[in-house]
Amino acid sequence: MSRIGKKPIEIPTGVEVNLVKSSLTIKGKNGTLDLVIHEAVGIEIEEKEIVVSKKRNSKIAQAMWGTTRALIANMIIGVKDGFKKTLLLDGVGFRMALKGDQIDLALGFSHPVIVDIPEGIKVEIEKSKMIISGIDRQKVGQFAAEIRAFKPVEPYKGKGFRYDDEQVIRKEGKRAVAG
């Protein structure tokens, strides 16, 4: 039984929720997000909360019940406050810069890496710190993961991209054997 699916979602002030057939639209100060609701899940909008329920008792309904509730809760947080991920870049000679709607990365390859910033995502760069923000949690996390995948942090010297809250376990290098 889903514990997440049972919890009602509180609608904060300043957030507008509309349900038309199987399409849910959530509008807030930061923007608007849409979600197509799975047919096995039902949604009831009351005055200050949204309740997600199963329409039938099946495996897919059980799986989508908690997932739908979590997606709607993330949408409400996104349009109200937004989401952000912070990436740190460590390494001698590594740099990053914003050029219009692209990010220019110098990561020790023979060529610079140019990345287009997706629509709905805002990127700020200050020295070796990149802040990725937006209203869609999935897009923010996916874009941060794609940037990190170019040069993930390595365990010996700690060079590469890492999240600001990530703990890097450092390994000891090779030792010279006294013989």
- Number of independent structural domains in the chain: 2
144 in the same domain as 94 = yes
Task: Kindly state whether residue 159 falls inside one of the protein's structural domains.
Answer: yes
Q: Give residue 176's pLDDT band: very low, low, confident or very high (50, 70, 90).
A: confident
Rounded to an integer, what distance in angstroms lies between the CA atom of residue 177 and that of residue 115? 45
For residues 155 and 97, membership in a common domain is answered with: yes
Read off the pLDDT of residues 69-126 as tens digits, 9 standing for 90 and up. 999 999 999 999 999 999 999 999 999 999 999 999 999 999 999 999 999 999 999 9
Last residue of a domain, one of 27, 51, 80: 80
First to last CA, the chain: 63
28 and 56 part of one domain: yes
Same domain, 71 and 133: no
Give 8-50 pLDDT, tens digit per residue.
999 999 999 999 988 999 999 999 999 999 999 999 998 899 9
Instruction: State which residues form the domain around 29.
Output: 3-80
The string of pLDDT tens digits covering residues 127-174 is 999 999 999 999 999 999 999 999 999 999 989 999 999 898 888 888
Report yes or no on 177 lying in a domain: no
